A and B are shown apart, each in its own frame.
Chain A
Amino acid sequence: MRGRIVLRDVTKVYRKAVREGRFQSVKGALLHGDLLRGLSPREQFVALEDLGLEVAPGEAVALIGPNGSGKSTALKLISGILRPSAGEVEVEGRVTALIELGAGFHPEIPGRENVIINGMLLGLSRAEVERRLPEIVSFAGIEEFIDQPVKVYSSGMFVRLGFAVAVAVDPDILLIDEVLAVGDAAFTRRCLDRIARMRREGVTLVIVSHDLDLVTALADRAVYLRRGRVVAEGPADAVVARYRSDVAGEEAGDTEGQERVRVVEEGRRWGTGDVEIEEVTFSSGGVPLRVVPSGADCTVHIRYRVRQPVEDFVFGLAWHTSEGGLVGGHNTQLDGLEPRRLNGAGEVRCRYGALQLASGEYWLDVAVHAADGLAYDYWCRAARLRVTAPVGWPGVWAPAHSWECDQPLWDAGPRGER
């Protein structure tokens, strides 16, 4: 548990590569004397502005956002490939950056020698890489090709070898930029298994991906960037929902879609406002409650008011622990409910026969959105519920259960069968 990342007010400004439509040349610099001239704002591109980010050891954070939002730049700054124009980047631990699998392999050189050089670049000694070589080769599945120049490799073999080297160095921090999209399904599966194993071992993970399902599956937390600035930050599922909503809004209403989606409360509540969630409450046994015993029945009441009648709507909710970890979620679309028309005001209820949660505090995100993700009202931490239990079960799941045996091994416990 050593990998730790802190970015403080990090700004990255790129120089535009093309000046007046031509590549720079010594000739031009000598003729115009502009070799050492400062850059005018016209020649600058601000990729990231005042980004603050802290990733604790063992945490998994995703950076999401449209193309050009600065996600990859942020990753390159963390990896040390780029240096910030302003601000500080602090990284503790060995970093492996998967920015392009197999980048830097020399085509004329055998796989073995390329692996050794890449491994050395990732901070191992030659002897250490050679010791891990069998493991790398078998993970990549290219035993008979390791002494062939990599130019004869198929693109699949190429990326497999690239991934195998990168994870073989036991990093404390793993940075992944959209590289899992390449390769076949079986390989992607194997990569994900490997990443899951590294997560269990306490490796800190930062991923950049457009695959939002992957983001919610891998990351605890997400940061939504747009034009180099943070739009939203928080539990991965909520931030992903926010991003989906913006994307859907843009597709629906061309460019002003993003303006249609208003932020009601920064990082916590947003939507078009066509439908408004007025109140979220709980009840158990028909009685309004804020504290529910584990295993009791529970109903979530969502009171709404419609400003603009809609025929495309999904009600959804997501349970989180007080630390922000996702417990579970459901929505009417996944449950197969076909929307008719939403108008006026009313209440939607979600009923749990038995609330199988361990004792603790839980937060509920509640949303009404269109099928494509456009949020009418997305409300993070809309309501809080305390669950009590006679036993402090670890974790979040506390289902009814019993122990059985062939021989009498135990006296009946004081609590009997739960």
Chain B
Amino acid sequence: MRAGAEVFGLLWHHRALVVALVRRDLAARYRASLLGYLWSMLNPLLLLAVYAVVFTTVFQPRMAGAKPYALFLFAGLLPWLFFSGALLDAAMTLVDNGPLLAKVVCPAEVFPAVTVLAHLVHHVLALPVLLAGLAGCAVLGLHPFPWTVLLLPLALVPWVLLTGGLAMAISAVGVHFRDTRDLLANLLNLLFFGTPIIYTLDGLHVVWLKRLLQLNPLASVIEVYRSLAFSGRFAPATDWAVALGVGLVAWIIGAWLFLRLRDTLVEAV
């Protein structure tokens, strides 16, 4: 508990630096690219377009509560891309910023936070695409517009806590073990299919598999997001409680691990 609050306090103290570094990361990514920040929107737009074509013409999955499927998939994929992208970058963030850590006095905890916030910015920039997709489907009468999407920032709270906590743990471990990123990429692949993103738990009819997948803590975190962004309803209170609980536990454990390893980081980057 203390560690979680301590890291939060440190980040708040360095908030100006965190903001400057997030700006730096975003600017570095889009510098010398013709379309700049538009890429944050174009990438998901192309993704959505491809899904729309594939899942209306090539495959036509039938799953309860997942119609139109392309939009359903997109609404689940957006937070996942934020989560997995931030974690993969977190694995290398301290190594990449090694010169700042080892040659300039710099609080190490800002870097996982900067990575997560930079990905959050990408995520927010992708939301207009989601809104456009939802509006388009509503106009065509395929899917009623989910006004709950306006409450989406609420669903981002557990996502940011969860991603932030894991990012801290992964960034610290990634300094000591340089194959963390490769290992993580494989784990994330497994987790992707173990999490109800391309399917819904309700749509599963194999009982033991459904039970097993319900144990995945990410299931609730996806559910609270997608029910607001796609289904147009609030997820059950238990899902919210589990999602927030998962986020908090991840944050506290991540912070604890990070603080424990912090003094070893500079020597190892």
Contact = CB atoms under 8 A, between A and B. Distances in A.
Contacts of A103: 99-100, 102-104
Contacts of A113: 20, 23-24, 27
Interface string A78-101: 011111000000000001010110
A149 B104 contact: no
Interface string A116-127: 111011100110
Nearest to B16: A126
B206 interface: no
Interface stretch (B115-123, B174-182, B230-238): B174-182
A10 to B, nearest CB: 14
Contacts of A25: 177-179
Interface residues of B, number: 31
A214 interface: no
Interface string B140-183: 00000000000000000000000000000000010011111001
Interface in B95-128: 97, 99-106
Given A100-B103, A120-B16, A109 B28 contact: yes
Contacts of B263: 83
A24 interface: yes
A24 B177 CA distance: 6
A391 interface: no
Given A100-B103, A121-B106, A26 B180 contact: yes
Nearest to B30: A108
Of listed A27, A81, A149, residue having the most chain B CB within 10 A: A81
A117 B105 contact: no
A84 to B, nearest CB: 10
Contacts of A23: 178
Given A81-B266, A113-B24, A100 B99 contact: yes
Interface string B239-269: 0000000000000000000000001101110
Contact of B102 (A81, A95, A118, A120): A81
A120 B20 contact: yes
Contacts of A82: 266-267
Contacts, number: 84
A15 interface: yes
Given A26-B183, A109-B24, A118 B16 contact: no
B16 A125 contact: yes
Contacts of A97: 103-105
Interface in A102-135: 103-104, 106, 108-109, 113, 116-118, 120-122, 125-126
A217 B173 CA distance: 45
A29 B17 contact: no
B177 A15 contact: no
Contacts of B23: 113
Q: Of A97, A113, A121, A149, which is in contact with the most chain B CB atoms at under 10 Å from its CB?
A: A121
Contacts of B99: 100, 103-104
Interface in A1-51: 14-15, 17, 23-27, 29
B131 interface: no
A83 B179 CA distance: 26
Given A82-B267, A83-B263, A108-B28, A118 B104 contact: yes
B20 A15 contact: no
A113 B23 CA distance: 9
14 contacts: A23-B178, A25-B178, A25-B179, A81-B101, A81-B102, A95-B105, A97-B104, A97-B105, A103-B100, A103-B104, A104-B103, A118-B104, A121-B104, A122-B105
| 3 A-B pairs with the lowest CB-CB distances in the bound complex, closest first | A103-B103, A104-B100, A108-B28
Given A81-B102, A109-B28, 10 more contacts: A23-B178, A25-B177, A26-B177, A27-B179, A103-B102, A104-B100, A104-B104, A113-B20, A113-B23, A116-B20
Interface of A: 14-15, 17, 23-27, 29, 79-83, 95, 97, 99-100, 103-104, 106, 108-109, 113, 116-118, 120-122, 125-126, 149
